[in-house]
């Protein structure tokens, strides 16, 4: 159920705020509208290719006045998980782009393909066979297998590209090992965002374009759930969203909820 006293929206990025490098309807109006209504916000993304600063820059380039502290990524959450579960300066094999690599290094860990204690796999649009080999070798030699998120597809301007989940599935198939996922549908990102905002789940809702990740994460975190219609928005009887809208413009027109 959507909260009548809505104090915060947790907003996905890919497929909600933009597709590729194109802002989606309502994206530019989101922050001014929420600010006018006194509703706080945070962006919660499974995409680990950029860090928070990179996403701030991308959003600002699209006309969205986001701040770094408004953004929570699966890369940050993965680094936080390692800080809680790994030895200091542990060796980590990373399949992923700069956002994930930088988060792991900033967390105090060493990037290493030879004798890693952990293998972390996320979205890598420059993936090579040798990177898959490094990940599989590490896991088969005993490294713990971590996946940033299970998204099978990435919405871009001209359709859908393979997501982190597709890459993780290749590693999982080759090693016959299942990963521990950190991002949505796990509620970790939402918990981090709510704590940062100082708002409880009873007064918050998530906005996303995928039931399998966004809506399930919202249910797990105990927040309201809002689904943006799109080619990844297949609904499921066991995870029904509280509200379905065409885009952010339609959602903003309905705020505040009564």
The single residue of 5, 12, 29, 70 carrying the catalytic annotation is 12
d(CA 234, CA 165): 17
Q: 83-100 pLDDT, tens per residue?
A: 999 999 999 999 999 999
Q: What is the mean pLDDT of the chain?
A: 95
pLDDT for the residue 232: 60
Query: 197, 212 in Cβ contact below 8 A?
Result: no
Q: Where in the chain is the domain with CATH 3.40.50.1000?
A: 8-46+184-254, 76-181
77 contact partners, CB below 8 Å, separation of at least 6:
182, 183, 188, 189, 192
The structural architecture, per CATH, of the domain 8-46+184-254 is: 3-Layer(aba) Sandwich (3.40)
Average pLDDT over every residue of 42-68: 96
Is 14 a known active-site residue?
yes
> Is 231 known to be catalytic?
no
| Residues counted in the chain | 258
Contacts of residue 237, Cβ cutoff 8 Å, sequence gap at least 6: none
User: In the block, which residue shows the tokens 């194109």?
Assistant: 22
CA 49 to chain centre: 10
CATH code for the structural domain at 76-181: 3.40.50.1000
pTM (2 d.p.): 0.90
Percent of the chain exceeding pLDDT 70 equals: 97
In three-state secondary structure terms, 230 is coil
Instruction: List all residues 6 or more positions away from 244 whose beta carbon is below 8 Å from its beta carbon.
Output: 226, 227, 229, 233, 235
Res. 258: pLDDT tops 80 = no
CB atoms within 10 A of CB 67: 12
Distance CA 46, CA 66 (A): 17
Residue in 14, 70, 113, 209 annotated catalytic: 14
Taking a C-beta distance cutoff of 8 angstroms, is the pair 94, 120 a contact?
yes
- In the structure encoding, which two tokens stand for residue 23, read together? 């802002």
pLDDT band at 158 (very low <50, low <70, confident <90, very high): confident
Burial group, residue 169, by CB count within 10 angstroms (0-12, 13-18, 19+):
middle
Q: What b/e sequence results for 81-98 when a residue is b if at least 16 CB atoms lie within 10 Å of its CB, and e otherwise?
A: bbeeebeeebbbbbbbbe
Whether residue 121 contacts residue 96, with contact meaning beta carbons closer than 8 Å, is answered with: yes
Q: Tell me the per-residue pLDDT of 171-207, one tens digit each, with 9 for 90 and over.
A: 999 999 999 999 999 999 999 999 999 999 999 999 9
């Amino acid at each position: 159920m959507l909260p009548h006293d809505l104090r915060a929206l947790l907003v996905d990025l890919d497929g909600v705020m933009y597709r590729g490098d194109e802002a989606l309807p309502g994206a530019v109006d989101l922050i001014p509208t929420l600010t006018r209504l006194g509703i706080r916000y945070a962006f919660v993304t499974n995409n680990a290719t950029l860090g928070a600063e990179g996403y701030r820059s991308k959003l600002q380039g699209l006309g969205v006045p986001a701040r770094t502290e408004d953004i929570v990524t699966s890369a940050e959450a993965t680094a936080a998980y390692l800080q809680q579960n790994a030895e200091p300066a542990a060796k980590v094999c990373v399949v992923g782009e700069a956002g994930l690599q930088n988060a792991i290094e900033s967390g105090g860990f060493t990037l290493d393909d030879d004798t890693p204690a952990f293998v972390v796999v996320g979205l890598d649009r420059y993936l090579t066979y040798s990177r898959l080999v490094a990940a599989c070798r590490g896991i088969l030699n005993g490294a713990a297998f971590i996946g940033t998120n299970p998204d099978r597809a990435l919405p871009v301007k001209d359709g859908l590209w393979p997501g982190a989940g597709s890459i993780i599935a290749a590693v999982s198939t080759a090693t016959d090992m299942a990963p521990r996922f950190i991002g949505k549908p796990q509620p970790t990102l939402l918990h981090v965002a709510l704590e940062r905002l100082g708002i409880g789940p009873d007064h918050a809702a998530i906005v996303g374009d995928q039931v399998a990740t966004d809506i399930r994460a919202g249910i797990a975190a105990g927040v309201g759930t809002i689904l943006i219609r799109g080619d990844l928005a297949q609904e499921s009887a066991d995870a029904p969203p509280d509200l379905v809208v065409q885009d952010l413009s339609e959602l903003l027109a309905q705020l505040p909820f009564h």
